[in-house]
C-alpha cells in the first residue's frame, strides 16, 4: 500500500520551498579531477581577438584541455522531475553550484558540471607524476613548437598531490615547469587516505580546506602559516608539510615572476555519491 503526504500542497509556499531546499545538500565543494596518463594538450592558432596575437606572423597556442579529463561531475537529481515548484528550487541550487541548466531536458534528471578553474583541482597521483611532467615537453617536440613563440593556456591553477609525494625531497624538487603551469596558485596536499580514480560512481571533494594554509612571502622568502577555522586534526601533518615546503620547494619556482603567490593547503578528501533524492 502506498501512502502520500496529502496535505503538502496545503502548506504555505514558503514552507514548501524550505522543505524542497532541505532535500538538497548545502553545496558541491572543491572537487578533484584526475590526470590519467592521457594526452590533454592541444595546439591551435591564436585568434585575432585573443591577447598575444601577432599580426602577419600569427601565434600558436597550447591549451590544456580540462574538458578531456573525463571527470565531469554528474548528479542524478530526481527532484527536478517532481513538479514545477521542486524543479525551480533544484535548478536554482544547480546554477549556484556552477551547473549549466540553460538547455536542460524537461524529462532528464542527470546534471553535469565541467572543471571549475576557480575551485576544482587537478590530482596527480604518485604513479602518474612523471607522465604529467613529460607531457607538455613531448607535445612541443611532436608538434615542432620548440624555439617558437607559443602562447600557453594551462587552464589549471590548483594541483593536488599526496602527502607522501610532497614530503619526498627528490620528487618535490621536480614541481612542474612554471613557464608552462604559469597559473599555479594552490597546491593541496592530501593527508591520509587518497582518492581512488577507479571508483567511477562517486566524486571526490576536498575537505578541511580552510583549517590552515602556508602562504609564500616573497619579501621574507619564507612560508607564513595562517590558521583558519576549525581544529587541526593532525597537527603533525601540518608540521611535516610546512617543513617540506620550506626545505624542498625549488627557489627558482618560488622566485619566478609568474609566481605571484603560492599556497600550500593540507586537506583530506571525502567520497560523495552522485545520487541526490
Please write the tens of the pLDDT for every residue from 168-187.
Answer: 876 666 666 666 888 889 99
Q: Is 152 inside any structural domain?
A: yes
Cell triple for 12: 504555505
pTM of the entire predicted model: 0.84
Q: Is 135 inside any structural domain?
A: yes
Check: CB of residue 69 under 8 Å from CB of residue 77: no
pLDDT interval class at 156 (50, 70, 90):
very high
Q: Is 264 inside any structural domain?
A: yes
Q: Is 198 inside any structural domain?
A: yes
Calculate mean pLDDT across residues 70-94. Answer: 82
pLDDT at 158: 95
Q: What is the DSSP letter of 211?
A: S
Q: Which residues does 29 contact at the CB level (< 8 Å), separation at least 6?
A: 119, 205, 206, 207, 209
Range of the domain at 95: 12-273
Q: Is 231 inside any structural domain?
A: yes
Q: Is 3 inside any structural domain?
A: no
pLDDT (tens digit, 9 = 90+) per residue, 121-151?
Answer: 999 998 898 889 889 988 988 888 887 788 8
pLDDT at 1: 43
Check: CB of residue 19 under 8 Å from CB of residue 83: no
Cell triple for 27: 553545496
Cα R_g (the chain), whole angstroms: 22
- Strand pairing of 121-123 and 158-162? parallel
Give the number of domains in the chain. 1
CA 120 to centroid of chain Cα atoms: 2
Q: Is 6 inside any structural domain?
A: no
pLDDT at 130: 85
Tally of CA atoms within 13 A in the half-sphere of 139 that contains its CB = 20
pLDDT (tens digit, 9 = 90+) per residue, 207-238?
Answer: 999 899 999 888 888 899 999 887 776 889 99
Amino acid at each position: 500500500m502506498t501512502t502520500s503526504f496529502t496535505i503538502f500542497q496545503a502548506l504555505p509556499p514558503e514552507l514548501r520551498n524550505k522543505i524542497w531546499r532541505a532535500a538538497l545538500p548545502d553545496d558541491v565543494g572543491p572537487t578533484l579531477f584526475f590526470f590519467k596518463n592521457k594526452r590533454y594538450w592541444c595546439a591551435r592558432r591564436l585568434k585575432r581577438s585573443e591577447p598575444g596575437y601577432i599580426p602577419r606572423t600569427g601565434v600558436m597556442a597550447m591549451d590544456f584541455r580540462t574538458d578531456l579529463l573525463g571527470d565531469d561531475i554528474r548528479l542524478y537529481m530526481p527532484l527536478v522531475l517532481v513538479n514545477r515548484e521542486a524543479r525551480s528550487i533544484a535548478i536554482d541550487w544547480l546554477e549556484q553550484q556552477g551547473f549549466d541548466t540553460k538547455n536542460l531536458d524537461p524529462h532528464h534528471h542527470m546534471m553535469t558540471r565541467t572543471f571549475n578553474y576557480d575551485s576544482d583541482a587537478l590530482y596527480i597521483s604518485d604513479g602518474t607524476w612523471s607522465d604529467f611532467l613529460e607531457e607538455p615537453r613531448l607535445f612541443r617536440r611532436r608538434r615542432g613548437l620548440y624555439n617558437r613563440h607559443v602562447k600557453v593556456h594551462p587552464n589549471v591553477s590548483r594541483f593536488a598531490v599526496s602527502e607522501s609525494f610532497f614530503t619526498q625531497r627528490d620528487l618535490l624538487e621536480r614541481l612542474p615547469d612554471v613557464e608552462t603551469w604559469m597559473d599555479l596558485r594552490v597546491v593541496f596536499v592530501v593527508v591520509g587516505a587518497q582518492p581512488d580514480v577507479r571508483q567511477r560512481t562517486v566524486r571526490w571533494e576536498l575537505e578541511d580546506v580552510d583549517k590552515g594554509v602556508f602562504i609564500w612571502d616573497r619579501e621574507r622568502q619564507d612560508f607564513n602559516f595562517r590558521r583558519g577555522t576549525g581544529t587541526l586534526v593532525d597537527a603533525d601533518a601540518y608540521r611535516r608539510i610546512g617543513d617540506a615546503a620550506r626545505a624542498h620547494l625549488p627557489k627558482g619556482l618560488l622566485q619566478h615572476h609568474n609566481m605571484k603567490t603560492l599556497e600550500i593547503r593540507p586537506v583530506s578528501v571525502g567520497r560523495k555519491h552522485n545520487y541526490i533524492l
